[in-house]
C-alpha cells in the first residue's frame, strides 16, 4: 500500500471586506459609473449612497467571488436599472404599435442591426485619438443622449453601455423584441443627427 496521504484542501475564507474604506476607495468610481448613465448629479450621489447602504445590509452574502468594487458596482447597476424602469414605466405603452419605418430599414442591416454601408456615419475627425477631442465628443454625446425619450435612453444605455442581452432589456423594461430594435434604430438616428449638428 502506498504511504501517500492525501492532504485536505485548505478552506479559503472570502477576502476581507472593509466598509470603513468604501467611500474613500470606491465612491468616485461608483459616482462616475452612475453619472454617465443617469446624467443627474444629485440622483447619482443618492444611488451611490443607496448602494453602500444595500451593501451593508447584505455584507454577509459577499462570497469573495469578485472584487469588492465589482460587487458594489453590480449592486449599483441594479439600482440604475430600477431608475430606468421607473422612468420608462408607462412610456412603453406609447411604443406598443411601433413598426419599423422604411427609412429605418434603409439605414440598418435587417440581420444584425448595424449601419448599412451607404448610410454609415462619416468619420468625426478623432481618429488620432486626441484625448481632448475625445473628451469634448463624449461631452456632446452625453448631452445628445439626454435628449432621447426616457425609454429610448434606457434601452440604448443598457444595450450599448452595459452590454445587456436583448432578452434581459425587454424583460426589465417590458418592451417587445420588435419594438426594442425599432427603439435602438431610432435612437441611433437621433444621436447621429445630434452629433453631426453639434460636433464641428
How far, in Å, CA of 53 to CA of 2, rounded? 55
pLDDT digits (tens, 9 = 90+) for 113-169: 555 665 555 554 444 555 555 677 788 888 898 889 889 999 999 999 899 999 999
pLDDT digits (tens, 9 = 90+) for 62-80: 888 889 999 999 999 999 9
Residue 24 in this model has a pLDDT that exceeds 60: yes
CA-based nearest residue to 189, from 154, 147, 138, 158:
147
pLDDT grade, residue 56 (50/70/90)?
A: very high
Residue 103 in this model has a pLDDT that exceeds 60: no
% helix, strand, coil for the chain, step of 5 = 65, 0, 35
CA-based nearest residue to 51, from 74, 33, 71, 76:
76
CA-based nearest residue to 157, from 184, 137, 124:
184
- pTM score, whole prediction: 0.69
Amino acid at each position: 500500500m502506498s504511504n501517500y496521504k492525501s492532504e485536505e484542501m485548505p478552506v479559503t475564507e472570502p477576502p476581507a471586506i472593509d466598509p470603513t474604506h468604501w467611500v474613500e476607495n470606491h465612491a468616485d468610481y461608483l459616482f462616475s459609473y452612475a453619472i454617465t448613465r443617469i446624467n443627474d448629479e444629485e440622483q447619482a450621489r443618492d444611488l451611490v449612497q443607496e448602494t453602500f447602504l444595500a451593501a451593508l445590509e447584505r455584507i454577509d452574502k459577499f462570497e469573495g467571488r469578485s472584487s469588492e468594487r465589482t460587487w458594489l458596482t453590480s449592486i449599483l447597476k441594479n439600482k440604475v436599472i430600477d431608475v430606468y424602469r421607473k422612468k420608462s414605466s408607462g412610456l412603453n405603452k406609447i411604443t406598443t404599435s411601433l413598426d419599423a419605418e422604411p427609412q429605418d430599414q434603409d439605414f440598418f442591416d435587417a440581420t444584425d442591426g448595424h449601419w448599412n454601408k451607404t448610410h454609415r456615419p462619416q468619420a468625426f475627425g478623432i481618429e488620432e485619438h486626441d484625448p481632448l477631442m475625445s473628451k469634448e465628443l463624449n461631452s456632446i454625446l452625453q448631452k445628445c443622449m439626454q435628449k432621447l425619450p426616457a425609454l429610448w435612453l434606457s434601452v440604448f444605455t443598457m444595450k450599448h453601455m452595459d452590454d445587456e442581452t436583448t432578452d434581459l432589456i425587454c424583460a426589465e423594461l417590458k418592451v417587445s423584441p420588435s419594438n426594442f430594435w425599432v427603439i435602438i434604430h431610432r435612437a441611433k438616428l437621433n444621436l447621429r443627427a445630434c452629433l453631426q449638428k453639434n460636433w464641428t
